[in-house]
Amino acid sequence: MATSAAPPGRCDPRRTLELRGGDRGAGPVIYWMSRDQRSRDNWALLHAQDLALAARRPLVVAFALAPAFLGATWRQYAFMLEGLKEVESDLAALGIGFRLLTGEPPAAVAAFARREGAQTIVSDFDPLRVKRGWVENLCRRVSCPVVEVDAHNIVPCRIASPKLEFGAYTLRPKLRRLLGEFLTPFARVTAHPWNPPAAPATDWDRVAAGLKADRGVGPVEGLKPGPAGGEAALRRFVADRLAFYDEERNDPVADGQSNLSPWLHFGHLAPQRAALDVRAVDNVPAASRDAFLEELIVRRELSDNFCFYNPSYDAVAGFHAWARATLDAHRADPRERLYGAAELDAARTHDPLWNAAQTEMTRRGKMHGYMRMYWGKKLLEWTPSPEEALRLANLLNDRYALDGRDPNGYTGTAWCIGGVHDRAWGERPVFGKIRYMNDKGCKRKFDVAAYVRKSGSPTS
Ligand code: FAD
Ligand code: FO1
């Protein structure tokens, strides 16, 4: 069926970056899907389709299932695999191929691309070290062009700023200046006229059985993984809780957050979709709408900026000089209490509030955003060094949180322990000038006893 040449690029060219040139093979365009695991609202898929339409080629999406990923357990893999099943059938309905590849991702994708004679490979932007390493490795293994598309940030990370930003206050104006050009409606992926050779549907049971992920951390009940689940969660938030977001988002007892982070993390839901839908709501207080957009756009895109431009985003070496100096000056301060990984993991500290936060995360797969700050800061107070505090914060967060292994997480723990994107505060033992938080501050803000009851304690 002849169709017109590709419509004029549906994806803003500023979202794309050619990582390598090369010889265009005679085969399909391949979108190596990783961060943005969805068929709708996906600029990387739209760009890959434009390339395939212009070359009158099939379009195939490849997902490389890593045998291990930053400490991910069965909890996270189960959520992700459920979503990928849905993506496979969404793509099939559009005549777009889906291939689940196993083994080390760059080698698996390179072998697939060579076998198929890929015309071009499109990848989706991700600032994490492991992901950038995968794409660099791929570029050395293939001879066709490889193009990166930022499908996660509303303002592409590389465009928003060419450098590491000090904080929200320095990035916000840069985002604001460009938001009008990038916070635009999504084009739709169309039915693809050149279909890839039929391939057997993925044997998802066999894929799951082949995963070594630690089954000791089980799936979180009651959440519907995948793009449809993410879109439903967004509709529920907008309908029921957006109106109260400004005053309730920092109250761990109220269910005031959107709870969208698992679907945003796996790319089942596009942040831009959430921003477009929330911005269009006109029957809620502007303060709530604006507060949500500040977190969703500024805070989240600040995290990508931090991880992209700071190679030590998950290390004390990545903290600002003032923070390293103040933490060094207080390294020898006596710690009132010291806890190791086992006690912290089991939520067996002296502090019922901290235990409740840890229990919420291990049971629910998500800790309330306000409690994450308290939770992270106590680790600095109760471990022998900032390095150990940061290691344990990332280890526990990535083990239990559905939204873990994310730039937001590494930035969040660096904020808690190293004052990243924060300022210096009054000097005190152990913390130095890093912002301090304690349970008295929490008691002033919300009903601590109610939160402890709600989250349960390890023995309950
Ligand atoms: P909402 O309040 O509804 O916000 C909506 C979205 O805005 C979030 O999903 C997220 O994409 C973005 N957002 C909100 N707050 C922040 C923030 N402080 N920094 C960056 N983006 C933000 N977020 C993760 O996605 N994964 C993590 O592993 C993670 N670990 C964290 C660890 C610590 C120690 C701290 C202090 C924060 C961490 N955060 C993490 C950031 C924030 O707490 C979560 O994004 C938020 O609580 C997710 O729940 P929600 O989607 O209901 O948030
Ligand atoms: N991305 C992949 O391309 N392949 C994987 O096998 C994979 C596993 C995985 C497990 C848990 C998790 O939280 C993320 C995982 N990711 C995987 C990456 C994810 O899609 C996101 O791109 C990043 O974690 C966010 O930057």
Q: Is the pLDDT of residue 442 over 80?
A: yes
- Shortest CA distance to 82 belongs to which of 177, 285, 201, 223? 223
Q: Mean pLDDT over residues 346-366, rounded?
A: 97
Please give the structure tokens belonging to residue 433.
């000038």
Distance 73 CA to ligand 2 centre (A): 12
For a mutational test of ligand 1's pocket, the pick from 79, 379, 403, i.e. the residue with the most ligand atoms closer than 8 A to its C-beta, is 403
Please give the structure tokens belonging to residue 344.
């912290």
* Ligand 1 pocket check for 265: Cβ under 6 Å: yes
Question: What is the reported pTM?
Answer: 0.97
Ligand 2 binding pocket, CB closer than 6 Å: 34-35, 64-66, 69, 72, 76-77, 80, 105, 126, 128, 266, 405-407
pLDDT in tens, 252-302: 999 899 999 999 999 999 999 999 999 999 999 999 999 999 999 999 999
**What does the mean pLDDT of the chain come to?**
96
Distance CA(324)–CA(386), nearest Å, equals 9
Distance 152 CA to ligand 1 centre (A): 15
Q: Is the pLDDT of residue 5 over 50?
A: no
Percent of all residues in the chain with a pLDDT value above 90, rounded to a whole number: 95
Q: Is the pLDDT of residue 4 over 50?
A: no
pLDDT in tens, 406-428: 999 999 999 999 999 999 999 99
- Among protein residues, the one with the nearest Cα to ligand 2's atom 19 is 35
- Shortest CA distance to 77 belongs to which of 43, 94, 102? 102
Q: Mean pLDDT over residues 133-160, rounded?
A: 98
Cβ pair 278, 238 in contact under 8 A: yes
Number of helical (H) and strand (E) elements in the chain, helices listed first? 21, 6
State residue 321's pLDDT score.
Answer: 98
Please tell me the least confidently modeled range out of 4-8, 304-308, 338-342, 366-370: 4-8
pLDDT in tens, 50-69: 999 999 999 999 999 999 99
Cβ pair 305, 266 in contact under 8 A: no
Q: Is the pLDDT of residue 47 over 90?
A: yes
State residue 352's pLDDT score.
Answer: 97
Q: Mean pLDDT over residues 222-242, rounded?
A: 98
Kindly state the DSSP code that residue 294 receives in the 8-state scheme: I
pLDDT in tens, 176-216: 999 999 999 999 999 999 988 888 999 999 999 999 999 99
